[in-house]
Structure formats: structure tokens, C-alpha cells
Amino acid sequence: MEAIVQQFLNIWAGLTFRRQLTIVAATLAMFFGVLAMSKMVASPTLTLLYAGLESGAAGDVVRALEQRGVVYEVRGGSIFVDAKARDELRLTLASEGLPANGNRGYELLDNLTGFGTTSQMFDAAYWRAKEGELARTIVANPQISMARVHIAGTGSNPFQRGVVPKASVSLTPNGGEISAAEAKAVRFLVASAVAGLSPDDVAVIDANGSLIGSSDDAMPTSQGDDKAEMFKEKVQRILEARVGLGNAIVEVSVDTETESESVRERRFDPEGRVAISTDTEERSNSSSDAGSGDVTVASNLPSNNGQPGGDSSSSSNSETRERVNYEVSETEREIVRAPGAVKRITVAVLINDAIATDESGVETSQPRDDTELEALRELVSSAVGFDAERGDIITIKSMALQSIPPMGTQASTSIVDRSTWI
């Protein structure tokens, strides 16, 4: 044994300092490597138990794990436990109501009783339950970890009129960013759950306090630019069919209405009246009056037929009334000018000169004649819907275009291809 140790010391003394340092470092690295591997084998494999919990709910879960003596580790907002005990811990904690969900829904209404509950208390509990149910639905999206919903309701006061409900939603993404499409879906979800709420009255805010999907950030493209591009493609396709590809340059400018206007007009024409009903009423009246006289012996004689003496009178009266009801001719017209209507179109076209070849084979450029330009102008006018009363302008000029040399190296036949042909 002593001989082996002595031999090892002799070998160690014969080594240089650099080799001795290398051997010491390798030995220490092997020692610590074996120690780390043994620790990893001895320590349990930790896996995710819960993540994205609120502070109060996370504290309750940690307290329950400590009471059970479970080994856990907190990394940021996530709680990790032994992979073998994870499923059992989730079931056990769920039976105890952990983790507690901060967004309580309609179960809030279960605690309300008919005695001692005022209408204001019921309204407050109802809107809290509505906010909690909406938050639960939003958190069901895997892209969202937390959500808070606030609804400014109108209440149940029947004397409140003209009060529009509004809402705001605060979202915390689950690692990524919330897109404008997701924010739009949340706005429509909240608006559909609250009566009288418009999606435009729902504000969606992310964890950084930025408004998502606002009208200022997502401005639609100008309709004038879209129409100008469409007209440009039409004119370019027509001209290149005649002058050739790359021999026509087209620019189109479209001025559109940016304001909405509604004009409602009602006109009455007294001359165009029409009788809709006629009512005729006739009345006739007649009366007679026998004259009265003194009662004498002669008036009582049979020869007088018992008629009293004196004069008699009679009268008759007739009346005719006609009532005609007329309906005055009325014309009602409503003109709505929405944003995007075309106000004016301006088209500028530059056409390359025609190439003529003389008898000697020399090519020369010469401007195109007026007849061809006028024909092209008519085609362009039809393509863009030219309207002189609107102030549209179409300018077509024939000029020589500068040729642009091709970029890069010109392709040629390689030596391999030549040898193949041979």
C-alpha cells in the first residue's frame, strides 16, 4: 500500500504544474457532477400545480400545502409540486374550495333572502353576479389568464330615461399579447349579455393600461385609395393590351366624401289636389199656420164646417250642402350621402412613343397620333366612369420613356450545357 502511494506521489511530482492543475479541476468537476446528479435523483420532479392565480388565492393554496407538509416551489406566479402528487393535490384542494375563484357569479344571489333585502341591494348583487359570470367566460379562453369586468348599469329606476349602459374589461394575457380581434370578440360578448349595451360602449384594456382595438388605433384604410387602386388596375390592363407591357404609366386620384349628410325634403303641390271624399247633405222644411179669429155664432154654424174665421199661411224651406275633401299632392325625398362617395376622379396617363422602323432597319420613336390618343381616352373614360359635371379630368400624353438597363448578370449558356449539346 505504501509502495502504491509512493509511486503515485512520484508520478504527481513528475507532472508539470499545468497538468497538476488540470487533474485537480477534472477531479473537482467530477465530484460536483456526481453530487448534483445524486441530488437530482433524490429530489422529486416538480411540475406545475397552478399558475396565474390572484395573490389571495395563491396564498391560500400555499398555506394548505404547508399544512400538509408537501414540498413545493414558487416561481413567479406559478406553484410547482411533486409530479407524482400533483393530481391528488388538485382533487384534494378542489374539495376544500381551493383555489378560490375571485370572480363569483350567480351564486351571490343564493345568499339573498326576501327579508331585509332592498331593491338596491338586489341590484348591486345582480350586477356583481353578471360581472363575475362574464369574467369566468372570458377567462375560459386559453390566451387570457385574468379578467375583470365592470358594468355601469342603468338600474331598475323607471324614472331614469336616456341613461345608456357602459362597460369596461381589464384583461391579463397568458404570456402573449391580446389581438384586436380577441378584444372585439370580448366587446361583443359583453354587449350581448347586457341589455341595451352597444359594443362601441365597451372598453377593453390590457395589463399595461393600453386600450385595445380603439377606433384611433385601428383606422380603416381610405376608401379613396382603394378605389384609386382599382381604377388604376383597370386602366393599366386596357392600355397595356394596346401599347404593350411596360409602355404605359397610370396614376389615378379619387377624392371621396369624408362626412355623412342626410337631406330630407317634402314638397306640396297645391295644383295637384285630388278629391278623396264628397259629402252631400240636403234639408227641406215646410210649415203652415191657420189664422185665428173671434169665436162667434157664425163660426159655429154647420155651414162654416167648424172652421174659425181668419186667414191661414204656409211656408217651405229647402237647403243643400256639399263637402268635398281634397288631398294635396305631396312628394317626400330623402338623400343620404355616406362617407366614401366619389367627388372627383383625376387620371394621368403617360404612354411611350411608338417605335417605327425605316427601310434600313433603324428604329426611331415618334409620338402617337391624336386619333389613337382620343380612342385611348374614350376607353379610359369608360373604365373609370368619367363624369364631366362632377369635374373629372383625364390627361393622356405620348412621350418617350427612358429605358432602364436590366439589373444583375445576363444569363448565358454554361460550358457544361455546351458540352452536352456537342
pLDDT tens, position by position, 168-200: 999 888 777 888 888 899 999 999 988 888 898
Helix axes 223-243, 370-384, angle to 10 degrees: 150
CATH architecture of 225-258+339-399: 2-Layer Sandwich (3.30)
Contacts of 283 (CB under 8 A, 6+ apart): 318, 319, 320, 321
- The total of other beta-carbon atoms located within 10 Å of residue 194's CB is 22
Contacts of 90 (CB under 8 A, 6+ apart): 49
pLDDT of residue 46: 82
The third-level CATH classification (topology) of the domain covering 107-155+164-218 is: GMP Synthetase; Chain A, domain 3 (3.30.300)
Which three three-digit cell numbers place residue 91?
Answer: 382533487
In the structure, what pLDDT confidence band is assigned to residue 218 with cuts at 50, 70 and 90?
very low
Question: Which helix (H) or strand (E) segment is 105 a member of?
Answer: none
Of the listed ranges 218-232, 268-282, 366-380, the one predicted with least confidence: 218-232
pLDDT of residue 416: 46
To which residue does cell 224651406 refer? 317
Q: Between 3.30.70, 2.60.40, 1.10.3470, 3.40.50, what CATH number should domain 46-96 receive? A: 3.30.70
Edge-to-edge strands, sheet with 342-352: 248-256, 342-352, 393-399
Alpha-carbon distance of 97 to 49, in angstroms, equals 15
Alpha-carbon distance of 36 to 333, in angstroms, equals 88
pLDDT of residue 69: 87
Alpha-carbon distance of 150 to 242, in angstroms, equals 64
- The total of other beta-carbon atoms located within 10 Å of residue 197's CB is 21
pLDDT tens, position by position, 83-137: 888 888 888 888 887 776 656 666 667 777 767 777 777 778 888 888 888 888 8
pLDDT of residue 219: 46
* pLDDT greater than 60 at residue 382: yes
